[in-house]
Every structure is written in C-alpha cells, then in structure tokens.
Chains A and B, each alone.
Chain A
Amino acid sequence: MNEIDAVVYSMGPSEFLGVNEPDKWCVDAVGGRDKPFMRIHTGGATGLSAAQAGFHHVAAGLFDAVLVVGADKVRECKDSQQVLNTIWDPLYERQFGLTTITMAAFQAVRHMHLYGTKEEQMALVAVRSWGNALNNPVAHLKGHITVDDVMMSPYYCWPVKKYDMCPSSAGGAAIVIVSGKKAMKLSTRPAWIRGCGEVANTVFLGDQMGGRAQMDFADSDVLAMAATAAYRQAGIRNPVKEIQVAELYAPFTVCELSMVEALGFCRKGESGRLNEEGFFNMNGEIAVNPSGGTLCANAIAITALARVCDGALQVMGKAPPKMQVKNVRNAVCTGEGGSFQFHAVMVLSADYY
C-alpha cells in the first residue's frame, strides 16, 4: 500500500447497500487514508469509468501507481428493482413501474422489430455465457443450460425471461494502474491501456425511437462512438481481426447482441445469426465474455471493473486455464450505465504500441 499514490473508488448506486456515500465508509478498508481519493459513479458503467479515471491520474503525470477498487452487495436490499425504479424521473416515468428489466424489454422488442431477432437467439447468449462461466472460479451463476431452459423460464417483462437477466451479486474487484516506467520494472507482460472512450446519450428512451430519433434504442450507437474513439487511440482498424477477446457489460441477453454490432464485430442485425454460428464462442472469431460476463455475476459497482480485470488477465495470459483464450494481443472491455445511456470502452493490449 505504501507504493500506491492515490485511490479511485468504484461505487455505483449506494441504495443497494443501504449506506449513503459508502466510499467514505470504505476509505480505511482500501488503504485510502491520507491519500488522494475520489469516487466515480456512472451507474452500471462505474467500474469502467473508474478505471479510466485511474488511467487519467497516471497519464496526467501526477502519480506513478493508482489503485482502482470497489465492492458491492446488491442482495442486501429487499428488491434491487425497487431501487432501480428510482433511476427514472419522479415526475414523468417512475409511476409506470419502469425498471432496468422493462428497459431491456424495450430494447428487445425494438431489436426484434427492426432486425427480426428471435427470442431463441437471445436465449443462446445466456447459454454460451453460463457455459463459459463454468471456467471462471469467481462467477456467481454457471452451468450447462439449453435454449429450451431459457425459453421455459418465466417472463419478467415480456420478452425478457429469467435467464435473459443478470443476477444480483456481491463481490469486489481491484486493479493497479502504473506509469509505463514503473510497469517495465514490475512486469514483463503487463496489460497496456491503449485506448479509452466514454460517451453519454439522452436519458429519455422515447427520444431514441421513431420520430426524429438520431439513433435507435435497439442499437448501441453511443457505444459505437466510444469504441471509435478508443480504437483510434489504440490504432485498431479492423476490430474482428485485431481483437481476440471482448469482456462486455451486457446485463441482459439482448444488450450483448446490440453491443457486438456496435463494437464493429458485425453489421447491425447480424449478431443473432453469427451467434448461432459460433462466431462469439471461446474458439470463435472473437471470444465474447470468456468469464461468463455480467449475465453470470453482477455486483453492480464493480461489474465493469471486473470486465477490465478479466480483459487484463486475458492480455497478460493469466486467466484461469480453461478461460484463457489463446494468443490474445488485444482485448476490449466495456461498461454501460443509466438508461443504456452511458457507454465506456477500454482497449487493453499486450503490445506497448
């Protein structure tokens, strides 16, 4: 801890824990006392935003080593969706029982409407994630499930079913970001932060459908903008060829289909079919969520930070044996927050440049 110059605390909504500003409570537990310390909170994107803030601490030239850390216990509240209803506007939206699940349902019906995506294609995302999670010792949910299992699971908000959704989890995560000079001394194979991007969209879902919408709620166009910025910094021109692993914050199956399209892995509307063809499998073109991703563990405050951890492990060749993808040069990690409105991207690379 003596070598850590500053701490960035990754903490999303505090209402699950039932302690306001829990970063202040946890200062001592993360060695923050007497050090520069700040909390980042961008909803579900928090962990990735926090990692970016940690990167900015170092890249500004102010610090040599920064700890980015957080923890969450979503299950300590009675019903996380009761809390998540309060992300919506109290004057115009809360009254209608809006939650994050209804939000996913709206995205799903639009993806189905625009591209003919089938419920079974979404289900397959869960099947792959649960299977991948079998190789991840820290995943919350894992197992061999089938498309039928997902299809037979109860509807929560049509067309979103139980197995289309992430769990409420408890867990912590941390990364250490150091300057290039220090990294050379400490490690022979660090994960280099090569590109960052983070873009905000309007909070209003209704602005993103029909009428004069500048982008459709079915698509994650804002993620595409953030990825474009990150890819440009990282010098990535052809993501399918140059990226081997994607660790995505996709809390619902439809999100992942929308996101792989936005990340430039395929064209809009193609993800369902490619997913069926194994394109995103462990041995496919791009391994998407080798860890099982958010569908298998969602301790909200650190879920996106866990994406960075898992991406870094892949690039460093230190992922658990069966979870490790071969010959990873670049990994892309994402975080998503709010009304699917905040998208953050980080590109990690085995190569310095």
Chain B
Amino acid sequence: MSHRVAILGVGMTKIEGAKKDQKLDDMVFEASSKALADASVTREGIDSVVISGCDELDGRCISSMLLAMPAGAYLKDEIKVTDEGCYGVILAAMRLMTGLFDLSLVISWCKTSEAPVSDVMRMRWDPFYHRGFGMNHITSTALMAGVYKSQYGIPMDIPARVVVKNRKNGARNPNAHLQRPIKLSEVRSSPVVSWPLRALDCAPESDGACALVLASARKARELKRDPVWLAGFGWATDSYYLGGRDLSKLRSLGIAAGMAYGMARIKNPLKEIDIAEISDFSSYHELMVYEGLGFCRPGRAQDLIKEGLTDMEGVLPVNPSGGLLSSNPFTASGLFRVCEAYLQVKGNAENHQVQGVKRALAHGSSGFCAQGNAVFILSR
C-alpha cells in the first residue's frame, strides 16, 4: 500500500443476549467513547466518521440519523456503509489513503434482541421467487452446510469439534455472550434446527457495539504511536441467486482473500498468519472459511480440525475470542473480529491472548450463504 493505515485503538461493549438497560444510542456512545479513550484521542481530533449498520435490524428506516451523534459525528464528515460493520473499515481506510483525512472513527452495532431477526432476513428475499419458502439466515446457512457436507463427506464430529473449540475459547473471553464451555455430546444431542445444523452448530443472537480509531501513517507518526497496521484488505461479492452458485465453496471469500494477501504480500497464509478471527455463522461455515481463505485445499478443512491446528495451541489459532459461535451481534460481528484481531496483535487480549502474534487475519461476511466477504490483515 502506498499510503499505510494505522489502527490506534478499539472499543467494545460487553456482548450480551439482551442489553435492556441501554437504548440503541446509549450502547453506541459507550463503544465510541471507549475507542477514543483506548486510542488516547478526543472527538475533536476526528475528521472522518464512518458508520455501518442495518436499518431493518435497528427498526429505523435511516438508523444513522440517531446513531451518527453517539458515533461522535456532530458537525463532522460522516458517511454510512451497510450492512456488515467491517465494511466501515474498508471505506475509512480508503478515505485515509486519499490523503484527504487523517483520523477516522469506525463504528458498528447490532441489537438483535429488539428485532425479529428471522423476519428481517426473510424480507431480504425478493418477493417473486424466493420469499415464500421460509428461508432465513439459518435455513440458508443450512442449505450451504448440506451441500458442503455431502460434497466432501464430512463426519458429524468435525463440525461439533469446531463448536467445542470456539465455546472453549469463548469461556476465556470475559466479553463473550456465551461463556460456558460445552462438550461434544451436547452438540451431538442438541436438536436439529435445519438439517444438517443442530442448535449448537449455529451462532447465537446477541447485542453489542464496537468501534475503532484509524489513522493515516502521517497522523500516527505525529501522535508518536506504536500502532497496529492495516497491512491489507480485500472484499468481494457473489451472486444473489443461490441456484447459480456452487454452494460448496465461498467464491467471493477467495477473491477477497486474494486481494488482501496481495496487498500484505502473503503467500502461504497458514504459515504467515499467527491468528485468525473469522465470522463463523455455523460450525460448517467455519470449515468452509478455512478453505476460502486458502488455509487448506477444498474439502480438507476437516484435517485442520482433526489435527488441532486451529486450536489455541495450534499453528494458526482460529477465533481465540470464541467467534460468532460464542457471540453474534449479527451485522457488527465482522467489525468485532477486526477489534479482536487488533487486541491479539497488540498483546491486549488478556485471558484469550495467543503468544507472539505478529500478524492477524480478520474476516467478515454478510448476505445469504455468505454472499459478500471481507478480509483484513493486521500486523505489527
């Protein structure tokens, strides 16, 4: 990258099932205040605010109206991108790279407890050809899991072990929504919600907000900071029409990863990346993400799990925070991944810190069957 982008700090609320004590704007103010404090900058210094959210989950038809102010945007340059929070990092980074801006706050949130998530997802389908078939985020993820499972003959224990791994990690993360470790047998005996997904194969629904402070290299130098660098990022989308897609692979993730790796000069991700925080909407989805990110060949993600390579002690720990299977503030989940990756590189992840992290990957995803994907490389 010609103009480098630095991350100076992050702020996260505790992720919970229902944050009843906070109105939506209260929660967003908490996250932005924490990020500014973590970065040791004040609102006055911010010259670009990039916010990201999903109106329909917020129950407001232009939700940035309310939330621009708790994001610190009063009389500031402000823009909103939808819907996955991590797209805010992309837009903010590009704005900094133009040289027109120096210090940016990126923020996202989601209060799934206020919205009928399934109904909102159903309304994402077009009314003509898809909406009538009861498809939501769970059933479409299951559709993809089913294709993947039958294509590669994935034994049932493999996805269950993904759940056990992530929930074990989540138990060490005081910020996580679900903090109880679970056993393989519990996953196996949990009810099927949409074949082949069982209840514990699926991410919960959570409330939370998070924010980052990004700076131009010039500004980071001026502030004499020891930042984490955004070494690369990439994003891409796939078709809306599932019938025209190969649901056994995440095509747009491969394209996004290629762009990010190119920018960060990564050739062998499994070796060169120290930890990954990925958006695992289901246990099967995590396996597919390994393949999309090029950690292994198609169909071989099961080997990584069998050999424990993505455990906390493995060569590439995936989701030390517990991932989405532990906490899922839906459209903010990808931005939480970037925050968690930052903590790991900075060495601030406390109980779920992996030792010696120099380079971390973060991944966000949105749309049915992970239509859109974004990948970030953070480094020292």
Direct touching of A and B (C-beta under 8 Å): yes
- Chain A residues within 8 Å of B, Cβ to Cβ: 11-15, 18-21, 23-28, 32-43, 49, 52-53, 56-57, 59-62, 83-84, 86-87, 89-91, 196-203, 222, 225-226, 229, 233, 337-339, 341-342
Contact B127 A338 (CB under 8 A): no
* B76 contacts across to A, CB distance below 8 A: 199-200
* A21 contacts across to B, CB distance below 8 A: 54, 56, 82-83, 124, 367
- In the complex formed, the residue of A with least CB distance to B59 is A90
Contact A342 B81 (CB under 8 A): no
Contact B82 A200 (CB under 8 A): no
Q: How many A-B residue pairs have CB under 8 A?
A: 181
- In the complex formed, the residue of B with least CB distance to A91 is B23
Contact B239 A23 (CB under 8 A): no
* B98 contacts across to A, CB distance below 8 A: 56, 59-60
**B192 at the A interface (CB under 8 A):** no
Q: Of B61, B80, B90, B235, which one neighbours A15 at CB under 8 angstroms?
A: B61
A sample of 7 cross-chain residue pairs with beta-carbon separation below 8 angstroms, ordered by A number, consists of A12-B62, A15-B56, A56-B98, A62-B97, A199-B77, A200-B75, A226-B77
* B54 contacts across to A, CB distance below 8 A: 21
Tell me, in angstroms, the Cα distance from A21 to B256 when the chains sit together.
Answer: 21
Interface string of B206-224 (1 = CB under 8 A from A): 0000000000000000000
Q: How far is the CB of B142 from chain A (nearest CB, A)?
A: 19
Contact B124 A19 (CB under 8 A): yes
* A37 contacts across to B, CB distance below 8 A: 235-237, 372
- Chain B residues within 8 Å of A, Cβ to Cβ: 2-3, 23, 49, 54-56, 59-62, 64-66, 68-69, 73-83, 87, 90-91, 93-95, 97-100, 120-121, 123-127, 234-241, 251-252, 255-256, 259, 366-368, 371-372
* A60 contacts across to B, CB distance below 8 A: 3, 93-95, 97-98
Tell me, in angstroms, the Cα distance from A313 to B254 when the chains sit together.
Answer: 38
Contact B55 A14 (CB under 8 A): yes
* B241 contacts across to A, CB distance below 8 A: 28
* B126 contacts across to A, CB distance below 8 A: 19, 25
Contact A40 B79 (CB under 8 A): yes
Given A20-B123, A24-B367, A61–B2 Cβ distance below 8 Å? yes
Tell me, in angstroms, the Cα distance from A129 to B116 when the chains sit together.
Answer: 43
Tell me, in angstroms, the Cα distance from A342 to B51 when the chains sit together.
Answer: 13
Contact B90 A38 (CB under 8 A): yes
Tell me, in angstroms, the Cα distance from A248 to B110 when the chains sit together.
Answer: 34
* B65 contacts across to A, CB distance below 8 A: 43, 87, 203, 338-339, 341
